[in-house]
Amino acid sequence: MSSTPHSVAVPILEVQDLTLLRGKQKVLDSVSFSIQAGSFVAVLGGNGAGKTSLFRVILGLESLKTGQVRVLGQEVKPGKASIGYMPQMRELVAGQFKGWNMVAAAFRGGVCGLPWYNQMCCAQVNAALAAVDALDLAHRPIATLSGGQQQRLMLAQAFLDDPRLLLLDEPLASLDHARRRDTVQRIYTYARTKEMTVLLSTHDMIPLQGFIDYILYLVDGRALLGRVEEVMTAQALTALYGTPVEVVQAGGHLFVVTKEGGDTLHSCACEG
Amino acid sequence: MLHYAFMRAAFMAALLISIVCGPVGWFLVLRRQSFASHALAHVGFAGATAALVVDQPALLGFGVGSVLSGVAMGAISYRVIGHDVIIGLVLSLAMGIGVLCLHFLTRSAHAAMSLLFGNILGVDTNTLWALFFLSAGCLVVLACIARPLLLATLQPEVAEAKGVSLRLINCIFLVLVAVATVECTQATGILLVFTLMVAPAAAIIRQGFSPIVGMVATTALAVGESWGGLVLSWYTSWPVVFWIAALGAVGFGISHGIVLLSLKRK
Ligand SMILES: Nc1ncnc2c1ncn2[C@@H]1O[C@H](COP(=O)(O)OP(=O)(O)O)[C@@H](O)[C@H]1O
Ligand SMILES: [Mg+2]
Protein backbone atom coordinates (compact mmCIF):
# COMPACT_ATOMS: atom_id res chain seq x y z
CA MET A 1 0.00 0.00 0.00
CA SER A 2 1.33 3.47 0.80
CA SER A 3 5.08 3.60 0.87
CA THR A 4 6.92 3.55 4.13
CA PRO A 5 9.53 6.30 4.54
CA HIS A 6 12.31 3.75 4.08
CA SER A 7 11.02 1.96 1.03
CA VAL A 8 13.36 2.11 -1.96
CA ALA A 9 10.80 2.41 -4.77
CA VAL A 10 9.60 5.92 -5.60
CA PRO A 11 5.82 6.06 -5.75
CA ILE A 12 4.66 6.95 -9.24
CA LEU A 13 1.69 8.86 -7.90
CA GLU A 14 1.46 10.73 -4.61
CA VAL A 15 -1.66 12.58 -3.57
CA GLN A 16 -1.55 14.61 -0.35
CA ASP A 17 -4.45 16.23 1.45
CA LEU A 18 -6.27 16.92 -1.78
CA THR A 19 -9.44 19.01 -1.64
CA LEU A 20 -11.30 20.07 -4.79
CA LEU A 21 -14.27 22.40 -4.72
CA ARG A 22 -16.91 22.81 -7.39
CA GLY A 23 -19.01 25.73 -6.27
CA LYS A 24 -19.53 25.00 -2.59
CA GLN A 25 -19.47 21.24 -3.01
CA LYS A 26 -16.40 19.34 -1.87
CA VAL A 27 -15.97 17.00 -4.81
CA LEU A 28 -12.79 15.59 -3.30
CA ASP A 29 -12.31 15.92 0.43
CA SER A 30 -8.81 15.70 2.00
CA VAL A 31 -7.79 12.74 -0.13
CA SER A 32 -4.33 11.27 0.45
CA PHE A 33 -2.81 8.14 -1.02
CA SER A 34 0.24 7.01 -2.89
CA ILE A 35 0.69 4.34 -5.52
CA GLN A 36 3.78 2.32 -6.36
CA ALA A 37 4.99 2.02 -9.92
CA GLY A 38 3.67 -1.02 -11.72
CA SER A 39 0.44 -1.34 -9.73
CA PHE A 40 -2.92 -2.12 -11.27
CA VAL A 41 -5.51 -0.12 -9.34
CA ALA A 42 -9.29 -0.27 -9.62
CA VAL A 43 -10.97 3.05 -8.79
CA LEU A 44 -14.41 2.19 -7.41
CA GLY A 45 -17.29 4.48 -6.60
CA GLY A 46 -20.89 5.22 -7.53
CA ASN A 47 -22.00 7.97 -9.90
CA GLY A 48 -20.76 11.33 -8.70
CA ALA A 49 -18.27 9.82 -6.25
CA GLY A 50 -15.49 11.86 -7.85
CA LYS A 51 -13.68 9.39 -10.11
CA THR A 52 -13.55 11.61 -13.19
CA SER A 53 -12.66 14.63 -11.05
CA LEU A 54 -9.80 12.71 -9.44
CA PHE A 55 -8.40 11.81 -12.87
CA ARG A 56 -8.61 15.40 -14.02
CA VAL A 57 -6.78 16.49 -10.88
CA ILE A 58 -4.02 13.96 -11.56
CA LEU A 59 -3.72 15.39 -15.08
CA GLY A 60 -3.26 18.85 -13.56
CA LEU A 61 -6.44 20.22 -15.15
CA GLU A 62 -8.20 21.43 -12.00
CA SER A 63 -7.23 24.16 -9.58
CA LEU A 64 -7.14 22.75 -6.08
CA LYS A 65 -8.41 24.19 -2.83
CA THR A 66 -5.67 22.41 -0.92
CA GLY A 67 -3.19 19.64 -1.46
CA GLN A 68 -0.54 18.39 -3.82
CA VAL A 69 -0.34 15.83 -6.56
CA ARG A 70 3.01 14.46 -7.69
CA VAL A 71 3.64 12.12 -10.58
CA LEU A 72 7.11 10.55 -10.49
CA GLY A 73 8.07 13.08 -7.85
CA GLN A 74 7.12 16.07 -10.02
CA GLU A 75 4.21 18.36 -9.36
CA VAL A 76 1.70 17.85 -12.16
CA LYS A 77 1.21 20.29 -15.03
CA PRO A 78 -1.03 19.55 -18.02
CA GLY A 79 0.89 17.76 -20.75
CA LYS A 80 4.14 17.57 -18.80
CA ALA A 81 3.82 14.24 -17.03
CA SER A 82 3.81 11.09 -19.07
CA ILE A 83 0.18 10.09 -18.58
CA GLY A 84 -2.10 8.27 -20.99
CA TYR A 85 -5.72 9.34 -20.52
CA MET A 86 -8.87 7.71 -21.75
CA PRO A 87 -11.78 10.04 -20.96
CA GLN A 88 -15.21 8.80 -20.08
CA MET A 89 -17.13 7.86 -23.21
CA ARG A 90 -19.18 10.45 -25.04
CA GLU A 91 -20.35 10.87 -28.60
CA LEU A 92 -17.47 11.31 -31.02
CA VAL A 93 -17.45 14.07 -33.61
CA ALA A 94 -16.29 13.64 -37.22
CA GLY A 95 -18.10 10.40 -37.91
CA GLN A 96 -16.80 10.33 -41.51
CA PHE A 97 -13.23 10.04 -40.22
CA LYS A 98 -11.59 6.66 -40.31
CA GLY A 99 -10.93 5.18 -36.87
CA TRP A 100 -7.21 5.08 -37.62
CA ASN A 101 -7.04 8.84 -38.18
CA MET A 102 -8.98 9.53 -35.02
CA VAL A 103 -6.56 7.43 -32.97
CA ALA A 104 -3.47 8.85 -34.68
CA ALA A 105 -4.56 12.42 -33.92
CA ALA A 106 -3.47 11.83 -30.32
CA PHE A 107 0.08 10.83 -31.27
CA ARG A 108 2.10 13.80 -29.96
CA GLY A 109 -1.18 15.64 -30.26
CA GLY A 110 -0.07 18.55 -28.09
CA VAL A 111 2.97 19.35 -30.22
CA CYS A 112 2.92 22.20 -32.74
CA GLY A 113 3.02 21.35 -36.41
CA LEU A 114 1.02 19.62 -39.09
CA PRO A 115 -0.93 16.42 -38.42
CA TRP A 116 1.54 14.48 -40.51
CA TYR A 117 1.97 10.82 -39.60
CA ASN A 118 5.46 9.46 -40.16
CA GLN A 119 6.58 5.85 -40.00
CA MET A 120 7.23 5.86 -36.28
CA CYS A 121 3.76 7.23 -35.66
CA CYS A 122 2.16 4.60 -37.90
CA ALA A 123 4.07 1.83 -36.13
CA GLN A 124 2.98 3.07 -32.69
CA VAL A 125 -0.63 3.52 -33.72
CA ASN A 126 -0.78 0.06 -35.26
CA ALA A 127 0.85 -1.52 -32.21
CA ALA A 128 -1.66 0.19 -29.91
CA LEU A 129 -4.56 -0.89 -32.11
CA ALA A 130 -3.27 -4.46 -32.19
CA ALA A 131 -2.96 -4.46 -28.40
CA VAL A 132 -6.70 -3.85 -28.03
CA ASP A 133 -7.68 -6.03 -31.00
CA ALA A 134 -8.96 -3.05 -32.98
CA LEU A 135 -6.89 -3.26 -36.17
CA ASP A 136 -9.89 -4.43 -38.16
CA LEU A 137 -11.97 -1.49 -36.88
CA ALA A 138 -9.40 1.10 -37.81
CA HIS A 139 -10.22 1.42 -41.49
CA ARG A 140 -13.92 1.95 -40.90
CA PRO A 141 -15.61 5.36 -40.51
CA ILE A 142 -16.22 6.15 -36.83
CA ALA A 143 -19.95 6.65 -37.38
CA THR A 144 -20.32 3.01 -38.42
CA LEU A 145 -18.82 1.67 -35.16
CA SER A 146 -20.76 0.67 -32.07
CA GLY A 147 -20.15 2.34 -28.71
CA GLY A 148 -18.02 -0.53 -27.50
CA GLN A 149 -15.95 -0.50 -30.68
CA GLN A 150 -15.37 3.24 -30.39
CA GLN A 151 -14.33 2.66 -26.81
CA ARG A 152 -11.65 0.21 -27.91
CA LEU A 153 -10.25 2.85 -30.26
CA MET A 154 -10.11 5.36 -27.43
CA LEU A 155 -8.30 2.83 -25.30
CA ALA A 156 -5.70 2.38 -28.03
CA GLN A 157 -5.37 6.16 -28.12
CA ALA A 158 -4.47 6.23 -24.42
CA PHE A 159 -1.56 3.85 -25.10
CA LEU A 160 0.18 6.28 -27.49
CA ASP A 161 3.25 8.36 -26.59
CA ASP A 162 4.60 5.67 -24.20
CA PRO A 163 2.98 6.87 -20.96
CA ARG A 164 4.23 5.71 -17.56
CA LEU A 165 0.79 6.05 -15.99
CA LEU A 166 -2.55 5.13 -17.54
CA LEU A 167 -5.75 6.80 -16.35
CA LEU A 168 -8.70 4.90 -17.81
CA ASP A 169 -12.09 6.40 -17.01
CA GLU A 170 -14.71 3.64 -17.20
CA PRO A 171 -13.08 1.83 -20.12
CA LEU A 172 -15.45 -1.11 -19.70
CA ALA A 173 -18.71 0.86 -19.62
CA SER A 174 -20.25 -0.05 -22.98
CA LEU A 175 -18.66 -3.46 -23.46
CA ASP A 176 -20.46 -6.78 -23.16
CA HIS A 177 -19.36 -9.20 -20.45
CA ALA A 178 -17.08 -11.36 -22.57
CA ARG A 179 -15.40 -8.25 -23.97
CA ARG A 180 -14.91 -6.79 -20.50
CA ARG A 181 -12.83 -9.70 -19.30
CA ASP A 182 -10.89 -9.76 -22.57
CA THR A 183 -10.26 -6.00 -22.46
CA VAL A 184 -9.00 -6.11 -18.87
CA GLN A 185 -6.69 -8.96 -19.84
CA ARG A 186 -5.35 -6.88 -22.75
CA ILE A 187 -4.85 -3.76 -20.63
CA TYR A 188 -3.09 -5.86 -18.01
CA THR A 189 -0.76 -7.53 -20.51
CA TYR A 190 0.07 -4.28 -22.28
CA ALA A 191 0.73 -2.47 -19.01
CA ARG A 192 2.94 -5.31 -17.75
CA THR A 193 5.09 -5.49 -20.87
CA LYS A 194 5.48 -1.70 -21.00
CA GLU A 195 5.86 -1.39 -17.19
CA MET A 196 2.95 1.02 -16.91
CA THR A 197 0.93 1.80 -13.82
CA VAL A 198 -2.82 1.62 -14.35
CA LEU A 199 -5.71 3.40 -12.62
CA LEU A 200 -8.99 2.12 -14.00
CA SER A 201 -12.36 3.37 -12.82
CA THR A 202 -15.33 1.04 -12.98
CA HIS A 203 -18.64 0.09 -11.43
CA ASP A 204 -18.17 -3.58 -12.09
CA MET A 205 -15.29 -5.39 -10.42
CA ILE A 206 -16.07 -8.88 -11.66
CA PRO A 207 -14.00 -8.69 -14.88
CA LEU A 208 -11.05 -7.43 -12.86
CA GLN A 209 -10.80 -10.59 -10.77
CA GLY A 210 -7.22 -11.76 -10.46
CA PHE A 211 -5.73 -8.67 -12.09
CA ILE A 212 -5.95 -5.85 -9.59
CA ASP A 213 -3.39 -5.13 -6.91
CA TYR A 214 -5.27 -2.37 -5.11
CA ILE A 215 -8.69 -0.81 -4.78
CA LEU A 216 -9.13 2.94 -4.47
CA TYR A 217 -12.63 3.25 -3.09
CA LEU A 218 -14.31 6.67 -3.41
CA VAL A 219 -17.42 7.70 -1.50
CA ASP A 220 -18.61 11.33 -1.69
CA GLY A 221 -15.09 12.56 -2.34
CA ARG A 222 -13.48 10.55 0.47
CA ALA A 223 -11.02 7.84 -0.50
CA LEU A 224 -9.66 4.57 0.84
CA LEU A 225 -6.75 2.75 -0.79
CA GLY A 226 -5.77 -0.80 0.01
CA ARG A 227 -5.57 -4.40 -1.10
CA VAL A 228 -8.86 -6.03 -2.02
CA GLU A 229 -9.12 -7.94 1.25
CA GLU A 230 -8.32 -4.79 3.26
CA VAL A 231 -10.86 -2.53 1.57
CA MET A 232 -13.74 -4.90 0.96
CA THR A 233 -14.57 -5.42 4.63
CA ALA A 234 -17.62 -4.24 6.52
CA GLN A 235 -15.43 -2.39 9.00
CA ALA A 236 -13.37 -0.44 6.49
CA LEU A 237 -16.31 0.49 4.28
CA THR A 238 -18.53 1.44 7.24
CA ALA A 239 -15.87 3.93 8.26
CA LEU A 240 -15.63 5.28 4.72
CA TYR A 241 -19.36 5.57 4.10
CA GLY A 242 -20.10 6.87 7.58
CA THR A 243 -23.16 4.62 7.67
CA PRO A 244 -23.36 0.90 8.42
CA VAL A 245 -22.31 -1.21 5.45
CA GLU A 246 -22.36 -4.94 4.99
CA VAL A 247 -20.13 -6.92 2.70
CA VAL A 248 -21.95 -10.02 1.61
CA GLN A 249 -20.31 -12.97 -0.05
CA ALA A 250 -22.40 -14.98 -2.46
CA GLY A 251 -21.49 -17.23 -5.34
CA GLY A 252 -17.82 -16.35 -5.12
CA HIS A 253 -18.61 -12.62 -5.37
CA LEU A 254 -18.56 -9.84 -2.81
CA PHE A 255 -21.45 -7.42 -2.66
CA VAL A 256 -21.37 -4.12 -0.82
CA VAL A 257 -24.76 -3.37 0.70
CA THR A 258 -25.63 -0.17 2.53
CA LYS A 259 -28.11 -0.95 5.30
CA GLU A 260 -30.21 2.16 4.77
CA GLY A 261 -30.98 1.84 1.10
CA GLY A 262 -30.24 -1.83 0.90
CA ASP A 263 -29.00 -1.39 -2.68
CA THR A 264 -26.06 -3.26 -4.06
CA LEU A 265 -23.35 -0.76 -4.84
CA HIS A 266 -20.56 -2.92 -6.07
CA SER A 267 -19.83 -6.49 -6.62
CA CYS A 268 -16.37 -7.88 -6.50
CA ALA A 269 -15.20 -11.31 -7.33
CA CYS A 270 -12.78 -12.74 -4.83
CA GLU A 271 -11.19 -16.03 -4.02
CA GLY A 272 -11.44 -15.92 -0.24
CA MET B 1 -9.43 36.38 -71.29
CA LEU B 2 -6.03 36.43 -69.64
CA HIS B 3 -5.03 39.34 -71.93
CA TYR B 4 -6.78 41.63 -69.53
CA ALA B 5 -4.94 42.75 -66.41
CA PHE B 6 -8.13 42.74 -64.35
CA MET B 7 -8.75 39.08 -65.22
CA ARG B 8 -5.20 38.09 -64.32
CA ALA B 9 -5.60 39.93 -61.03
CA ALA B 10 -8.92 38.17 -60.46
CA PHE B 11 -7.41 34.72 -61.02
CA MET B 12 -4.52 35.58 -58.69
CA ALA B 13 -6.89 36.87 -56.02
CA ALA B 14 -9.08 33.77 -56.32
CA LEU B 15 -6.02 31.57 -55.84
CA LEU B 16 -4.79 33.51 -52.78
CA ILE B 17 -8.23 33.42 -51.22
CA SER B 18 -8.87 29.75 -51.95
CA ILE B 19 -5.62 28.46 -50.48
CA VAL B 20 -6.68 29.92 -47.13
CA CYS B 21 -10.36 29.10 -47.34
CA GLY B 22 -9.51 25.45 -48.05
CA PRO B 23 -7.74 24.38 -44.86
CA VAL B 24 -9.51 26.89 -42.59
CA GLY B 25 -12.86 25.77 -43.98
CA TRP B 26 -11.89 22.14 -43.48
CA PHE B 27 -11.38 22.73 -39.76
CA LEU B 28 -14.45 24.92 -39.60
CA VAL B 29 -16.67 22.14 -40.89
CA LEU B 30 -14.95 19.51 -38.78
CA ARG B 31 -15.45 21.63 -35.67
CA ARG B 32 -19.06 22.38 -36.62
CA GLN B 33 -18.39 26.10 -36.37
CA SER B 34 -19.27 26.98 -39.95
CA PHE B 35 -21.80 29.44 -38.67
CA ALA B 36 -18.92 31.39 -37.09
CA SER B 37 -17.59 32.50 -40.47
CA HIS B 38 -21.03 33.80 -41.31
CA ALA B 39 -21.20 35.76 -38.06
CA LEU B 40 -17.68 37.14 -38.40
CA ALA B 41 -18.49 38.34 -41.90
CA HIS B 42 -21.50 40.21 -40.57
CA VAL B 43 -19.50 41.89 -37.82
CA GLY B 44 -16.89 42.73 -40.43
CA PHE B 45 -19.66 44.35 -42.47
CA ALA B 46 -20.52 46.60 -39.54
CA GLY B 47 -16.82 47.45 -39.19
CA ALA B 48 -16.45 48.17 -42.89
CA THR B 49 -19.46 50.45 -43.12
CA ALA B 50 -18.33 52.26 -39.98
CA ALA B 51 -14.91 52.74 -41.58
CA LEU B 52 -16.53 54.17 -44.72
CA VAL B 53 -18.52 56.63 -42.62
CA VAL B 54 -15.28 58.06 -41.19
CA ASP B 55 -13.53 57.92 -44.60
CA GLN B 56 -11.25 54.98 -43.91
CA PRO B 57 -10.70 51.97 -46.21
CA ALA B 58 -13.50 49.44 -45.93
CA LEU B 59 -11.06 46.53 -45.82
CA LEU B 60 -9.39 47.96 -42.71
CA GLY B 61 -12.68 48.37 -40.88
CA PHE B 62 -13.70 44.93 -41.99
CA GLY B 63 -10.51 43.33 -40.69
CA VAL B 64 -10.61 45.09 -37.34
CA GLY B 65 -14.27 44.25 -36.82
CA SER B 66 -14.11 40.58 -37.62
CA VAL B 67 -10.75 39.83 -35.93
CA LEU B 68 -11.85 41.54 -32.71
CA SER B 69 -15.11 39.66 -32.70
CA GLY B 70 -13.23 36.42 -33.41
CA VAL B 71 -11.14 36.98 -30.28
CA ALA B 72 -14.23 37.89 -28.29
CA MET B 73 -16.11 34.83 -29.45
CA GLY B 74 -13.21 32.56 -28.51
CA ALA B 75 -12.63 34.22 -25.15
CA ILE B 76 -16.23 33.96 -23.98
CA SER B 77 -16.49 30.62 -22.27
CA TYR B 78 -18.40 28.55 -24.76
CA ARG B 79 -19.52 26.24 -22.00
CA VAL B 80 -21.60 28.97 -20.42
CA ILE B 81 -23.85 29.67 -23.39
CA GLY B 82 -24.15 27.61 -26.55
CA HIS B 83 -22.13 28.65 -29.58
CA ASP B 84 -25.17 29.21 -31.71
CA VAL B 85 -26.88 31.54 -29.25
CA ILE B 86 -23.85 33.81 -28.89
CA ILE B 87 -23.20 33.80 -32.61
CA GLY B 88 -26.81 34.54 -33.45
CA LEU B 89 -26.92 37.49 -31.06
CA VAL B 90 -23.64 38.94 -32.28
CA LEU B 91 -24.73 38.49 -35.87
CA SER B 92 -27.99 40.34 -35.66
CA LEU B 93 -26.53 43.18 -33.60
CA ALA B 94 -23.69 43.63 -36.08
CA MET B 95 -25.99 43.61 -39.08
CA GLY B 96 -28.13 46.23 -37.37
CA ILE B 97 -25.12 48.49 -36.80
CA GLY B 98 -24.07 47.96 -40.40
CA VAL B 99 -27.47 49.08 -41.63
CA LEU B 100 -27.32 52.13 -39.37
CA CYS B 101 -23.93 53.10 -40.80
CA LEU B 102 -25.25 52.65 -44.34
CA HIS B 103 -28.06 55.00 -43.40
CA PHE B 104 -25.48 57.74 -42.72
CA LEU B 105 -23.55 56.78 -45.83
CA THR B 106 -25.95 57.73 -48.57
CA ARG B 107 -23.27 58.72 -51.10
CA SER B 108 -21.50 55.38 -51.56
CA ALA B 109 -24.01 52.69 -52.41
CA HIS B 110 -21.47 51.08 -54.70
CA ALA B 111 -19.10 50.37 -51.81
CA ALA B 112 -21.95 48.74 -49.92
CA MET B 113 -22.82 46.57 -52.90
CA SER B 114 -19.28 45.27 -53.28
CA LEU B 115 -19.16 44.54 -49.54
CA LEU B 116 -22.32 42.51 -49.79
CA PHE B 117 -21.65 40.65 -53.03
CA GLY B 118 -17.90 40.92 -53.55
CA ASN B 119 -16.02 42.54 -56.39
CA ILE B 120 -13.34 40.17 -57.53
CA LEU B 121 -13.12 41.73 -60.99
CA GLY B 122 -12.17 45.05 -59.39
CA VAL B 123 -9.20 43.85 -57.35
CA ASP B 124 -6.25 46.26 -57.58
CA THR B 125 -2.57 45.60 -56.98
CA ASN B 126 -2.62 46.88 -53.42
CA THR B 127 -5.43 44.52 -52.55
CA LEU B 128 -3.54 41.65 -54.15
CA TRP B 129 -0.54 42.34 -51.95
CA ALA B 130 -2.77 42.57 -48.90
CA LEU B 131 -4.31 39.22 -49.81
CA PHE B 132 -0.87 37.71 -50.31
CA PHE B 133 0.39 38.70 -46.86
CA LEU B 134 -2.85 37.75 -45.14
CA SER B 135 -2.83 34.32 -46.80
CA ALA B 136 0.82 33.67 -46.00
CA GLY B 137 0.39 34.68 -42.36
CA CYS B 138 -2.76 32.67 -41.97
CA LEU B 139 -1.22 29.51 -43.44
CA VAL B 140 1.92 29.78 -41.31
CA VAL B 141 -0.11 30.07 -38.10
CA LEU B 142 -2.44 27.27 -39.14
CA ALA B 143 0.51 25.01 -39.95
CA CYS B 144 1.78 25.59 -36.40
CA ILE B 145 -1.47 24.85 -34.61
CA ALA B 146 -2.96 22.24 -36.95
CA ARG B 147 -1.94 19.23 -34.90
CA PRO B 148 -3.21 20.35 -31.48
CA LEU B 149 -6.25 21.92 -33.15
CA LEU B 150 -7.13 18.60 -34.74
CA LEU B 151 -6.87 16.74 -31.44
CA ALA B 152 -8.81 19.48 -29.63
CA THR B 153 -11.54 19.04 -32.23
CA LEU B 154 -11.71 15.25 -32.18
CA GLN B 155 -10.96 14.54 -28.50
CA PRO B 156 -11.04 17.71 -26.38
CA GLU B 157 -10.37 15.92 -23.08
CA VAL B 158 -7.36 14.07 -24.46
CA ALA B 159 -6.05 17.33 -25.92
CA GLU B 160 -6.34 19.01 -22.51
CA ALA B 161 -4.48 16.11 -20.93
CA LYS B 162 -1.68 16.62 -23.44
CA GLY B 163 -1.37 20.26 -22.42
CA VAL B 164 -3.50 21.97 -25.09
CA SER B 165 -5.51 24.95 -23.83
CA LEU B 166 -8.90 24.51 -25.48
CA ARG B 167 -9.85 28.13 -25.04
CA LEU B 168 -6.59 29.49 -26.43
CA ILE B 169 -6.61 27.26 -29.46
CA ASN B 170 -10.26 28.06 -30.17
CA CYS B 171 -9.41 31.76 -29.92
CA ILE B 172 -6.46 31.51 -32.31
CA PHE B 173 -8.53 29.50 -34.73
CA LEU B 174 -11.37 32.01 -34.73
CA VAL B 175 -8.88 34.78 -35.53
CA LEU B 176 -7.74 32.72 -38.51
CA VAL B 177 -11.37 32.31 -39.52
CA ALA B 178 -11.79 36.07 -39.25
CA VAL B 179 -8.78 36.71 -41.50
CA ALA B 180 -9.94 34.12 -44.00
CA THR B 181 -13.38 35.70 -43.96
CA VAL B 182 -11.94 39.13 -44.66
CA GLU B 183 -10.14 37.72 -47.67
CA CYS B 184 -13.08 35.71 -48.82
CA THR B 185 -15.43 38.68 -48.86
CA GLN B 186 -13.20 40.28 -51.50
CA ALA B 187 -14.35 37.55 -53.83
CA THR B 188 -17.79 36.55 -52.65
CA GLY B 189 -19.02 39.40 -50.46
CA ILE B 190 -20.28 38.83 -46.95
CA LEU B 191 -23.52 37.24 -48.02
CA LEU B 192 -21.79 34.36 -49.80
CA VAL B 193 -18.81 33.62 -47.57
CA PHE B 194 -20.26 30.14 -47.19
CA THR B 195 -19.67 29.34 -50.85
CA LEU B 196 -15.88 29.34 -50.59
CA MET B 197 -15.33 28.73 -46.88
CA VAL B 198 -17.77 25.94 -46.23
CA ALA B 199 -19.03 24.33 -49.45
CA PRO B 200 -15.72 22.79 -50.64
CA ALA B 201 -14.86 21.57 -47.14
CA ALA B 202 -18.29 20.06 -46.62
CA ALA B 203 -17.96 18.18 -49.90
CA ILE B 204 -14.49 16.83 -49.09
CA ILE B 205 -15.08 15.89 -45.46
CA ARG B 206 -17.79 13.45 -46.49
CA GLN B 207 -15.12 11.43 -48.28
CA GLY B 208 -13.31 10.50 -45.04
CA PHE B 209 -9.79 11.37 -46.18
CA SER B 210 -6.93 11.63 -43.71
CA PRO B 211 -6.39 15.16 -42.37
CA ILE B 212 -3.59 16.30 -44.68
CA VAL B 213 -5.17 14.78 -47.78
CA GLY B 214 -8.50 16.29 -46.79
CA MET B 215 -7.07 19.78 -46.40
CA VAL B 216 -5.19 19.61 -49.70
CA ALA B 217 -8.24 18.26 -51.52
CA THR B 218 -10.44 20.98 -50.03
CA THR B 219 -7.98 23.62 -51.19
CA ALA B 220 -7.85 22.16 -54.68
CA LEU B 221 -11.63 22.10 -54.87
CA ALA B 222 -11.86 25.71 -53.64
CA VAL B 223 -9.34 26.84 -56.27
CA GLY B 224 -11.21 24.86 -58.92
CA GLU B 225 -14.57 26.34 -57.96
CA SER B 226 -13.39 29.96 -57.82
CA TRP B 227 -11.43 29.72 -61.07
CA GLY B 228 -14.29 27.86 -62.68
CA GLY B 229 -16.59 30.66 -61.55
CA LEU B 230 -14.34 33.25 -63.22
CA VAL B 231 -14.20 31.32 -66.48
CA LEU B 232 -17.94 30.68 -66.61
CA SER B 233 -18.63 34.29 -65.75
CA TRP B 234 -16.36 35.40 -68.61
CA TYR B 235 -18.29 33.37 -71.16
CA THR B 236 -21.79 34.02 -69.82
CA SER B 237 -21.25 37.50 -68.34
CA TRP B 238 -23.32 36.37 -65.36
CA PRO B 239 -21.93 37.40 -61.95
CA VAL B 240 -18.86 35.48 -60.77
CA VAL B 241 -20.40 34.95 -57.37
CA PHE B 242 -23.37 33.19 -58.84
CA TRP B 243 -21.10 30.71 -60.59
CA ILE B 244 -18.96 30.10 -57.50
CA ALA B 245 -22.07 29.42 -55.46
CA ALA B 246 -23.48 27.14 -58.16
CA LEU B 247 -20.23 25.20 -58.48
CA GLY B 248 -20.10 24.86 -54.70
CA ALA B 249 -23.51 23.25 -54.71
CA VAL B 250 -22.59 20.99 -57.64
CA GLY B 251 -19.36 19.92 -55.88
CA PHE B 252 -21.29 19.02 -52.75
CA GLY B 253 -23.88 17.14 -54.78
CA ILE B 254 -21.23 15.09 -56.59
CA SER B 255 -19.51 14.26 -53.31
CA HIS B 256 -22.81 13.15 -51.85
CA GLY B 257 -23.44 11.01 -54.92
CA ILE B 258 -20.05 9.33 -54.55
CA VAL B 259 -20.83 8.48 -50.93
CA LEU B 260 -24.21 7.03 -51.89
CA LEU B 261 -22.71 4.98 -54.72
CA SER B 262 -19.99 3.52 -52.52
CA LEU B 263 -22.60 2.58 -49.92
CA LYS B 264 -24.64 0.83 -52.58
CA ARG B 265 -21.69 -1.14 -53.86
CA LYS B 266 -21.00 -2.57 -50.38
N1 LIG C 1 -18.19 20.53 -14.54
C2 LIG C 1 -18.76 20.36 -13.34
N3 LIG C 1 -19.32 21.40 -12.69
C4 LIG C 1 -19.88 21.28 -11.48
N5 LIG C 1 -19.93 20.12 -10.80
C6 LIG C 1 -19.40 19.03 -11.38
C7 LIG C 1 -18.79 19.09 -12.68
N8 LIG C 1 -18.32 17.86 -12.98
C9 LIG C 1 -18.65 17.08 -11.94
N10 LIG C 1 -19.29 17.76 -10.97
C11 LIG C 1 -19.76 17.24 -9.69
O12 LIG C 1 -18.65 16.64 -9.07
C13 LIG C 1 -19.02 15.44 -8.45
C14 LIG C 1 -18.11 14.33 -8.91
O15 LIG C 1 -18.28 14.14 -10.28
P16 LIG C 1 -17.41 13.09 -11.11
O17 LIG C 1 -16.00 13.28 -10.75
O18 LIG C 1 -17.79 13.24 -12.54
O19 LIG C 1 -17.94 11.71 -10.55
P20 LIG C 1 -17.84 10.24 -11.17
O21 LIG C 1 -16.88 10.29 -12.31
O22 LIG C 1 -17.36 9.40 -10.04
O23 LIG C 1 -19.21 9.85 -11.59
C24 LIG C 1 -20.49 15.20 -8.79
O25 LIG C 1 -21.25 15.51 -7.67
C26 LIG C 1 -20.77 16.15 -9.91
O27 LIG C 1 -22.08 16.64 -9.80
MG1 LIG D 1 -17.13 9.82 -14.25
HEC per residue, A47-83: CCCCHHHHHHHHCCCCCCCEEEEEECCEECCCCCCCE
Q: Is the pLDDT of residue A67 over 70?
A: yes
**Residue in chain A lying closest to B158 (CA):** A85
| Percentage with pLDDT > 90 across chain A | 49
Task: Note the pTM of the prediction, 2 decimals.
Answer: 0.90
pLDDT at A53 (0 to 100): 94
Considering every ligand atom shown, identify the ligand nearest to the alpha carbon of residue A45 and give its number. 1
pLDDT at A2 (0 to 100): 43
Q: Which of A18, A19, A22 to mutate to test the pocket of ligand 1 (most atoms within 8 A of CB)?
A: A22
| Residue nearest ligand 1's atom 13 by CA | A48
- The tens digit of pLDDT for each residue in A15-55 reads 999 999 988 888 999 999 999 999 999 998 888 889 999 99
Residue B183 sits in which domain range?
A: 5-265
Instruction: Say which of A59, A83, A101 has its CB closest to residue B211.
Output: A101
- Residue B212, C-beta contacts closer than 8 angstroms, at least 6 positions apart: A114, A115, A116
Q: Is the pLDDT of residue A268 over 60?
A: no
pLDDT at A263 (0 to 100): 45
- Mean predicted confidence (pLDDT) in A56-71: 91
pLDDT-derived band of residue A236, with 50, 70 and 90 as boundaries?
Answer: confident
Distance from CA of B156 to the nearest CA of A (A): 9
Helical packing angle, B240-265 and B166-188, nearest 10°: 120
Q: Report which of residues B129 and A249 the model is more confident about.
A: B129
| Residue nearest ligand 1's atom 25 by CA | A48
Count of beta carbons in the 10 Å neighbourhood of residue B181: 32
Count of beta carbons in the 10 Å neighbourhood of residue A94: 23
- The tens digit of pLDDT for each residue in A137-165 reads 999 999 999 888 999 999 999 999 999 99
Residue B206's domain is classified under what CATH number? 1.10.3470.10
- Mean predicted confidence (pLDDT) in A181-195: 92
- Mean predicted confidence (pLDDT) in A84-105: 89
- Cα end-to-end span (Å), chain B: 46
Burial class (CB within 10 angstroms; exposed 0-12, middle 13-18, buried 19+) of A159: buried
Count of domains for chain B = 1
Geometric angle at alpha carbon B167, from B163 and B169, rounded to 5°: 70
> What rounded mean pLDDT belongs to chain A?
85
Distance from CA of A93 to the nearest CA of B (A): 6
Beta strands A165-169 and A197-202, pairing class? parallel
Ligand 1 close to Cβ of residue A147 (< 6 A): no
- The tens digit of pLDDT for each residue in A194-231 reads 999 999 998 878 888 889 899 998 988 888 898 888 87
Q: Is the pLDDT of residue A7 over 50?
A: no
Instruction: Say which of B144, B162, B206 has its CB closest to residue A110.
Output: B162
Instruction: Say which of A102, A114, A141 has its CB closest to residue B154.
Output: A102
Low-confidence ranges of chain B (pLDDT < 70): 77-84, 87, 106-108, 266
Q: Cβ contacts (< 8 Å) between A96 and chain B: which residues?
A: 205-208
Q: Is the pLDDT of residue A266 over 80?
A: no
